[in-house]
């Protein structure tokens, strides 16, 4: 059963950009301040906040600078991965092979 898509990729990008901007402002950081802290140019941060466009590398750098890198832990999480060293690891399908 698939989940219906309620938002467009553009809407998702803009939601994330808005959240990053709000976090930046909550931490009382200017774009220049966040640029210094993250290594991402202020012009890139401005572009992201206004258009939602940013490279993944820059987005990760911003998340580290804002103390939110753990948010990436849930991104594309695979549910059947072992929870501990004692759990049996699932067999992953190799490219081009049928199950």
pLDDT recorded at residue 79: 73
61-91 pLDDT per residue, tens: 999 999 999 998 888 887 766 666 666 665 6
pLDDT recorded at residue 98: 61
pLDDT recorded at residue 5: 73
- CA-based max dimension of the chain: 53
- E strands of the chain, at which residues? none
CB-based contact 52:10 (threshold 8 Å):
yes
């Amino acid at each position: 059963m698939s989940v219906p898509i309620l938002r467009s990729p553009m809407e998702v990008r803009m939601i994330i950009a808005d959240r990053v901007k709000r976090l930046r402002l909550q931490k009382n950081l200017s774009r220049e301040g966040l640029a210094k802290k993250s290594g991402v140019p202020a012009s890139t941060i401005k572009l992201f906040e206004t258009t939602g466009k940013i490279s993944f590398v820059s987005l990760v750098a911003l998340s580290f600078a804002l103390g939110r890198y753990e948010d990436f832990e849930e991104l594309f999480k695979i549910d059947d991965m072992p929870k501990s060293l004692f759990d049996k690891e699932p067999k992953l399908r190799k490219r081009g092979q049928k199950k």
